[in-house]
Amino acid sequence: IWSNIEVPAHSRALRLAGTSCVALLMLLIATGLIAAVNGKHFFIGNEGVLLSTILNVAAVLIIILSNVSMFVLIPVLSVFEAHTTKGQMELTIMLRLWLFQVLNTMLAAFMFWDASRNKMGQTNWGHWFADGGFLVLNVIFGDATLMNVIEFFRPFDVIIPRKQQAPYCMTQKRLNRVYAAPELSLGMRYQMILKHFTLALALGSAMPLVYWLVTILCGVTYWIDKYNVLRLY
């Protein structure tokens, strides 16, 4: 990336530190919100099936929304960091998104495990599977489904611009720019596969269904990427 070569090394280091602090802050906010939702186990006794389900779904939505916000924010932060090569920037995107999502999900699962213990310190595993297991499976499925749908239809950089901007383009040059092929981000695609493999290795022994779910999601991801590489990019 020739435009970033003139940026001094110490300036890139400061930018990297600043963007890392932003990513850490978002992780802390998401973890705090999940902890607040999970507080039902400490402050609400015998919450019932309906309230428990509602609060568990709220925890799942918090994780998915925080992950999606990172999908939007991390590439912007990576551009600000002024990397000198495209590969370095994609590697940074992949590692940050992978680490954020794994920590976000594992911390939530650990909170539900802690909340499933009684006063004697014994874990009610049936309680954890009903809450923590429900959360993990829904986060894996929800994240993969949402990201694959966005990747397949590309609403933000293909459908919406072409529907809203193309009819009002006054020049062929502007129309060509609107209909230009979107850019493939390998970091964004690899991080999702890496996250699924990490969660499968960490939680698969407790929930074997995770292995099958991750296998199906990896297959769907492969066909979506194959379709887009041949017809879109």
The whole model's pTM is what?
Answer: 0.80
Give the phi and the psi of residue 123 in degrees, each rounded to 5.
Answer: -90, 130
pLDDT of 115 = 62
pLDDT of 43 = 46
- Distance, in Å, from the CA atom of 102 to the CA atom of 226, rounded to the nearest integer, reads 26
pLDDT tens sequence across 82-122: 888 988 899 988 998 898 888 888 887 777 666 666 667 67
The two counts, helices (H) then strands (E), for the chain are 10, 0
Decide: 158 and 182 in contact? Cβ < 8 Å: yes
pLDDT tens sequence across 46-81: 555 666 677 667 777 777 777 778 888 888 888 888
How many angstroms separate the Cα of 111 from the Cα of each of 1, 42, 108?
42, 12, 5
Q: Count how many Cα atoms sit within 13 Å of the Cα of residue 15 in the half-sphere of its side chain.
A: 17
pLDDT of 220 = 92
